[in-house]
Structures are given as C-alpha cells and as structure tokens.
Structure 1
C-alpha cells in the first residue's frame, strides 16, 4: 500500500456562517491542495469535509495518516464514539442526536478501503501543513460563488421548524 499523508483544517466565519476547508495530500514528492468555500455551514462540518475530500481524492487503497486540529474528529474516531453513534441510529445518547451524521456516514465509507490513522495536531501552533490548511480554508471563505451546504440547510430547516 502507498503511504499517504493528509493534512486538514476547516474554518467558519461565525458558527454557523460562511465556511471553508483546506486539505493537503502528500505522497512521496507529490503534493495536492484542495479547498472550497460554503455560504452557510459550521466549523465541525468543514473539519469533516476536509478529511472527506482528502480521502475522496485517493484512487486506490492506501495507508493514510490524517492530521487534524479537530478534537471532534480525532477523538470521535480514535475513541470509537462515531461507531457507537452509528450503532445507536446516530444518537449520542438516548436524548441527544449526533450532529453531522451525513458527513460521518461518508467518512466511514471512505475509510473502509484504507488503513487509516488519525493524529491530532494543535492548531495555530506553527505546524507548517496545518497553517497552510488554515490559510486555504480561510481563503476559500473569501471567494465569490460559495457553495451551498445542502444537508446543513435541510437539517437546520427541520430544527427551526421551517419544514
């Protein structure tokens, strides 16, 4: 298996608010950067999407080390919380819904063919790839023609009683 490193970060201007993600993939001397911005979303959704987009870019099963400054993601995977939420019908406990289940589902599916390891890095601490991902994410927010985070909007409409 090829050994790939994925560095990720998500950003939001307001939470919820306009958001973006930045992802860097490294394989040997090859480097690929990905980023996109969204009109209205949350920071956690952008953190998840950064990892998802990185895994979606892989064309074959790989040994993947994923670096994220999101304790939400790293702990949910490493502590196996996300598997518990899924097994409980995307509930964190008997009363509390697990947020972002659409993205967690995508992430779990994308992880299947790969051997993945999730490592936490402290954000804004000078880690070169994390700083670059943060830059990509925040710059993505500034671009014209931001995308719609349709699942977030659907979930928000239901919670707000709009539909």
Structure 2
C-alpha cells in the first residue's frame, strides 16, 4: 500500500535503506484550551523495547508534543550510535520548522519573519541541539490514512496524553 509521503533532510543526504526508521507523533486533548493534556509517542516497531508512550511536561500543546517526540527519538538513536535516522511524522509544522524555518529564526534572534517571537523557541533549541552529530531524513506521512507505523505512534501519543496529569 502506498502512503502520501514527502521527504526533507537535515544533515547529509543518505539513502533510506542506509538509515534506521522510526515513527513519532504528538497528541493533545483540548489543544489550546484550559485543561489540555498532551503526550508523545515514538514507535520503532512491534513490541520494540524502545517504543515510548509518555505524558508531556510543561506547556500542553500538540506542536510541543510533536517536537518532543522527535527529540526523544533522536536522543534514543544517538544513544544507540545510529547516525542516519529516517523519522516519519505527520507534522508538517515540525518538518518545515526544522528543515526550512529554523535558520531564519536563529538569524533573526528567534523571531518570525513578522517580527513576533517564535512561540516554541526553547523546544526548537533543544531539538536543534539534539540534531548535532546525526543525519535525519524527515519524512512526512499523512496522518490517519492507514500507515501502520504512523498509526502505532499515534496510539502511543494518545495513551501518553490520556495518562497526563500535568495539564489537568
């Protein structure tokens, strides 16, 4: 089965067959509202010991959950000496932020092109630091379209959000 995907790279390009695949997702119930609860999901494969489902600390938003799921996956990969990671996500915001916009934000002292501050500055600084020493091929996969890895990461993220007591 084919899935709608788009690829962008942070680091040195490499063939997908040379990389290790991981799926990440973030979830947030009541996003943008009082009482929001968010969680992250990282999916390496069926019954994999490194799959992650956890609540998100701090400000509870879907975008932050997406960013932190990627950070967790990248840090896990680096701890296993993986230097080429193929990271599948359904967050175009995350991919565009890290492959297209972040260099401009840094040049403008973490300001958007409109002059307003980048809302998730600290989260993106953490992600940018995590990316040091690893090549990541960012692959956009449309969410909720039956991609098994994306669906598994989504389930893990939702479980993490359901378990979250920080946002209540």
**TM-score, normalised by the number of residues in structure 1:** 0.79
Q: Which has the higher contact order (CA 8 A, sep 6+)?
A: 2
Secondary structure at the counterpart of residue 92 of structure 1 = coil
- Which one of the candidate residues 51, 61, 71 is aligned to 1:52? 71
Partner of 2:27: 11
Higher strand share: 1
Return 5+ residue gaps in structure 2 as ranges.
1-13
Q: Distance in 1 between matches of 2:107 and 2:43?
A: 31
- Which one of the candidate residues 57, 74, 89 is aligned to 2:109? 89
Q: Deviations over 1:43-91 (max 9, x none)?
A: 000000000011111212510111110010112233x211111221110
Give the drift of 1:121.
0.3
Q: Distance in 2 between matches of 1:48 and 1:68?
A: 10
Partner of 1:152: none
Secondary structure at the counterpart of residue 32 of structure 1 = coil
Q: Distance in 2 between matches of 1:76 and 1:43?
A: 14
Give the drift of 1:95.
2.5
Q: Distance in 1 between matches of 2:133 and 2:123?
A: 17
Aligned length: 144
Q: Distance in 2 between matches of 1:129 and 1:32?
A: 14
Q: Distance in 1 between matches of 2:20 and 2:127?
A: 17
User: Which stretches of structure 1, 4 residues or longer, exceed 4 Å deviation after superposition?
Assistant: none
